[in-house]
Amino acid sequence: MKTSCKIAVSLMAAALSLSFAQTACAFKVGIAMPTQNEERWMKEGFELRDKLKSAGFDVELFYGGDDDVPIQQRQLPRMVKEGCNALVVASIDGNALTQALEPAQKAGIPVISYDRLIMNTGAVTYYATFDNYKAGVIQGQAIVKALDLDNLPEGEHKTIELFGGSAKDNNSKFFWNGAMEVLKPYFDDGRLIVPSGQTKFEECAIDLWSNDIAQKRMDELLGKAGYKPDGQGDKHLDAIYSSADILSSGIIASLRHAGYTGKTAPVLTGQDATAYAVKSMQEGFQYMTVLKDASVLCDRVVEMAKEIASGKDVEINDTKTYDNGAGFVKTYQCEPVSVDRENMKKLLIDTGKVKL
C-alpha cells in the first residue's frame, strides 16, 4: 500500500463505519474466483464484489475462465500490478499458485484464501472458509439416516458408490474424511458395501470437480456393476456419496439416461444448496445437500477486509486445522448446515437463498 494511503486508511480506523470511497486513496480488493461454469462461484463472486463495494472498497473481480489454472496464475500478479491492496482468492488448483503469489508476498499485500486453502506458500495471510470436515460428517450422517443403517436386520447390507472432489482442492479430503469417518463402522461390519471395490479417495476423486467426468464415471459404474432401476441384490444401488451438487448433477444425468426416476434413484448426497440440487430434491433424485451460506462467508470476508484496511486485529476462530505446508493458517471457519427435503423450503426457498 502507498504510504499516503496507509495514513489515510489508519486515520479512518477511528471511525470504523468508514467509507473508503470518500478518501483520496481507496482501498482496492482483488477477487479471483475459479470458474463461471458453476452456480456457487458465479453467485458468490458477484455477491462478494457487491458487498465489498457497499462497504466502500474498490473492487476488481476476476474469473479463471472455466477452471483454467494458467489464467488464474496470470491474474494474481496482474492484480498486484493494478494496485490491489488485498487479494481474495478461491483457487482452482491449490498447489499451483506458489509462484503466482510471489509478487503479492513481496509487496506485503495480504492474501485471503477464500473457501479453498492455497497450499505451499507463505503468502496466505488468512483463510475464510466453512468447517469442511463437518460438511462431510453431515453428508455421511444423512446416508446413515436415509438407509436406516442402524436398524438393518442381521446379515443384510446396503450398496453404495463413492464420488470425491478434485484432488487439486484441499477441501476435498476434508469432505471425504468427514463422511468416511461416519460411514467407517458400517463398512467395517459389512452393513455397507461398495460393489465396484473403489473405496480409496484417489480412485473416486473427480478432477476439477467436473460434472462431465462424474457423469462418465457413473456411466462406467452402471455398466460394469450392472446396476438397474429394478435391479435385485448387488445390482441394486442404494446410495451414492457425492461430495458436491456439481458432481451430483453429472451423476443424475447418468442415472436418468439409464432409466432411473425420482422414485427409483439411489440416495444421493450433495453440497452447496444450488438451485439445481433443490430441483433434484423436489424430483426425488437427490436426498440432501449442505448449505454453506454464501452471505455468511462473504460478510466474514468483508469484515476481514475492513480489519486489514484499518490495521485492526483480524478476527479468526481457528489456528490448528489448516496447515498449507508453510504452516498453520489463521482461519475463520463458518458453520455448514444440513438441508434435506423436509427443511429445504424453510431454509432455502422461504429465505430467498435459492430462487427457482
| Contacts with ligand BGC, residue ranges (CB under 6 A) | 38, 40, 115-116, 165, 169, 171, 209, 244, 246, 271-272, 292
- Residues 88-123 as b/e (b if ≥16 CB within 10 A, e otherwise) read bbbbbbbbbbbebbebbbeeebbbbbbbbbbbebeb
DSSP bridge pairs for 32 = 62, 89
Q: How far is the CB of 132 from ligand BGC (least distance, A)?
A: 7
Nearer to ligand BGC, 40 or 300 (CB): 40
Nearer to ligand BGC, 73 or 289 (CB): 289
Nearer to ligand BGC, 51 or 292 (CB): 292
Nearer to ligand BGC, 56 or 165 (CB): 165
Q: Is 51 helix (H, G, I), strand (E, B) or coil?
A: helix
Question: Which of these, 291, 315, 311, 318, lies nearest to 303 by C-alpha position?
Answer: 315
β-strand 86-89 against 28-33: which pairing, if any? parallel
Cβ atoms of 204 and 240 closer than 8 Å: no
Nearer to ligand BGC, 28 or 40 (CB): 40
In terms of Cβ atoms closer than 10 Å to its own Cβ (0-12, 13-18, 19+), residue 275 is: middle
Q: Quote the CA–CA distance of 69 and 94 in Å, as a whole number.
A: 10
Q: How far is the CB of 271 from ligand BGC (least distance, A)?
A: 5
Nearer to ligand BGC, 40 or 134 (CB): 40
H helices, E strands: number in the chain: 12, 12
- The dihedrals phi and psi of 41, each to the nearest 5 degrees, come to -75, -35
How many Å from the N-terminal Cα to the C-terminal Cα in the chain? Answer: 43
Q: Supply 69's cell numbers.
A: 489454472
Gyration radius of the chain over CA positions: 22
Nearer to ligand BGC, 57 or 127 (CB): 127
Q: How far is the CB of 121 from ligand BGC (least distance, A)?
A: 18
Nearer to ligand BGC, 171 or 333 (CB): 171
Q: Quote the CA–CA distance of 351 and 346 in Å, as a whole number.
A: 7
Q: How far is the CB of 115 from ligand BGC (least distance, A)?
A: 5
Cβ atoms of 168 and 92 closer than 8 Å: yes
DSSP state of 18: -
Q: Cβ contacts of residue 334 below 8 Å, gap of 6+?
A: 128, 129, 130, 131, 292, 293, 296, 297, 300
Q: How far is the CB of 129 from ligand BGC (least distance, A)?
A: 7
Q: Is 65 helix (H, G, I), strand (E, B) or coil?
A: coil
Q: Quote the CA–CA distance of 194 and 266 in Å, as a whole number.
A: 13
Nearer to ligand BGC, 64 or 195 (CB): 64
Q: How far is the CB of 144 from ligand BGC (least distance, A)?
A: 22
